[in-house]
Amino acid sequence: MDYRILVTGGNGRFANILKKNNKKLNLIFKSKKNFDILKIESIEKCIKKEKPKIILHTAGLSRPMNIHEKNITKSIDLNIIGTCNIVKICKKYNIKLIYFSTGYVYEGKKGNYSEVDPIKPFNNYGLSKLGGECAVQMYNNSLILRITMIEKPFAYNKAFTNLKTNFMFHEDLVKILPKLINKKGIINVGGKSQSVYEFAKKTGKKVIGIKAIKSLNLPLNQTMNLNLFKKLVKN
């Protein structure tokens, strides 16, 4: 693809994997130093210089997960207000916006959530990403990817046997991203529905299976319906 795609969060976990493995997309990576999502003037200055056709918005606050409970101001600033600023600039310059959201916007109880199911985040991280989604959905020239992904190799020595999700590695998303770039709307993105323990075992790492206890207050079935995603990346 010849047109320019500006990637926010240029020093983040996913962006670093994208830099190493991208073979098809014309990407420009920007970090806070030259693209501060909390400053409209910083965003606009960069946009005027780089003239991207698409912004791939991966910047934001994710981990540690409890940061969203301890510092809600930072969570709101980076995941909601920063995203709102980018939406405003995309609208002004007619730039397509692709927003990296999360499966955490779903309640996480029944599983197999489709893109049209009601959304009810179970923690502040999910709420902060939903806040960003609300702004993005106001802009028609946009795509929201609700993604469940993790670093490779699996980083933990223990994994939950009773918590189901759709983990996929960053590298897997990089491979299929070109097939999603021209889509619009909302798409659930992830891997096979399985427990975290089953996923970890298949990576070849020795992990100990443990149960998520009630006191952790974790939703035990976070799986998403991936029918639309599978159809779009099939060919």
* CA distance linking residue 136 with residue 99, whole number of Å: 7
* CA distance linking residue 93 with residue 3, whole number of Å: 15
Q: Which of 19, 156, 138 is nearest to 80 (CA)?
A: 138
Give residue-wise pLDDT tens across range 146-156. Answer: 999 999 989 89
Pairing relationship of beta strands 194-195 and 164-165 according to DSSP bridges: antiparallel
pLDDT tens across the length of the chain (235 residues): 678 999 999 999 999 999 999 988 999 999 999 999 999 999 999 999 999 999 999 999 998 888 999 999 999 999 999 999 999 999 999 999 999 999 999 999 999 999 999 999 999 999 999 999 999 999 999 999 999 999 998 989 999 999 999 999 999 999 999 999 999 999 999 999 999 999 999 888 889 999 988 777 788 999 999 999 999 998 7
The position carrying tokens 């409970």 is: 69
Return the pLDDT at 203.
Answer: 86
What does R_g of the chain's alpha carbons equal in angstroms?
Answer: 17
3-class SS letters over the chain: CCCEEEEECCCCHHHHHHHHHCCCCEEEECCCCCCCCCCHHHHHHHHHHHCCCEEEECCCCCCCCCHHHHCHHHHHHHHHHHHHHHHHHHHHHCCEEEEEEEHHHCCCCCCCECCCCCCCCCCHHHHHHHHHHHHHHCCCCEEEEEECEECCCCCCCEEECCCEECCEEHHHHHHHHHHCCCCCEEEEECCCCEEHHHHHHHCCCCCEEECCCHHHCCCCECCECCHHHHHHHCC
Q: Is the peptide bond before 219 cis (omega within 30 degrees of 0)?
A: no
Q: Which of 139, 35, 33, 30 is nearest to 92 (CA)?
A: 139
* CA distance linking residue 181 with residue 210, whole number of Å: 38
pTM: 0.95
- On whether the CB atoms of residues 196 and 163 are closer than 8 A, the answer is yes
- On whether the CB atoms of residues 55 and 6 are closer than 8 A, the answer is yes
Return the pLDDT at 65.
Answer: 84
Return the pLDDT at 1.
Answer: 67
Structural domains present in the chain: 4-155+166-191 (3.40.50.720)
- On whether the CB atoms of residues 37 and 83 are closer than 8 A, the answer is yes
